[in-house]
Amino acid sequence: MALCPKSVLITGANRGIGLEFVKQFLKLDVPPKFIFACCRQPDSAEDLKSIASGSSVVHIVKLDVQDQSTIDTAKTYVESKLEGQGLNLLINNAAVLHLKGFYDVTKQEMMDHFETNAVGPLIVSQTFISLLKQAAGVNPTAPMSCSRAAIINMSTGVASISENSSGGIYPYRASKAALNMLTSNMAIDLKGDGILVTAVHPGWVKTNMGGPNALIDTETSLKGIMSVFAKLQGEEGTGKFYHGVKGELIGW
């Protein structure tokens, strides 16, 4: 199946993997009509601004996943643009990572990670759900897919409990494991509405978060992820935890 959502919203789109999502969606055979590239500080999002200046598709939208008022304002803006067609694809990409272990992690760091990496994606999904339902209703008999209506939560291999063999990275691992549970839960709760929900690990990618020693660049990661997106279909595709580059399932 070709990947052809008419509208996509990406959080944390000003750099790293989020920015590469914007570039790769623009390169699709049938690019979306709307790419809502969300970031905390649009004024200083220079890379995004240069992409948006030459495109009628890319809309830069202020959205801080820790700040409900920015999420609400973003939703109002997105809704005004979509003209009743709904939002096809929501990508919860924004996240933070501090390399803290058992002895040095603080309560505040744990709370901050949970707020950004788990609670944020839940609240963003909750706020935009009416637009996702609207999109699902445009093609009521089509199978669930990223082209019809879907929420993708950007997770990480180190959130896997079954594959954890090295310990450490407490706030990030725990908050992303919580995101995985939210993914599984939302997949069950939103199936009846025709909305697919799945978690995707992008590989170890050269970004601020992944660092310079990472294995792959953002383009390589995104090419894999986009082909996984294209394959996610119906009941088989929802409630899963995928390695975006290998295209294989990861154990929870």
Binder to ligand NDP among 5, 12, 32, 86 (CB under 6 A)?
Answer: 12
Instruction: Quote the Cα angle for 207-209-212, to 5°.
Output: 50
Sign of the alpha-carbon torsion through 28, 81, 94, 51: positive
Binder to ligand NDP among 5, 10, 14, 58 (CB under 6 A)?
Answer: 14
Q: Per-residue b/e over 114-128, b at no fewer than 16 CB within 10 Å?
A: bebbbbbbbbbbebb
Residues 203 and 225 sit within 8 Å (Cβ to Cβ): no
Q: Residue 175's closest CA among 233, 56, 94?
A: 94
> Is the CB of 129 or the CB of 222 nearer to ligand NDP?
222
Q: Between 227 and 246, how does the x/- string for binding to ligand NDP read (CB under 6 A)?
A: --------------------
Binder to ligand NDP among 202, 224, 237, 244 (CB under 6 A)?
Answer: 202
Q: Does 24 bind ligand NDP (CB under 6 A)?
A: no
Neighbours of 103 (CB within 10 A): 6
Q: Residue 139's closest CA among 74, 81, 194?
A: 194
Binder to ligand NDP among 15, 98, 100, 223 (CB under 6 A)?
Answer: 15
> Is the CB of 171 or the CB of 194 nearer to ligand NDP?
171
For ligand NDP, the binding residues (CB under 6 A) are 11-12, 14-18, 39-41, 64-66, 93-96, 116, 154, 156, 201-202, 204-205, 207-210, 214
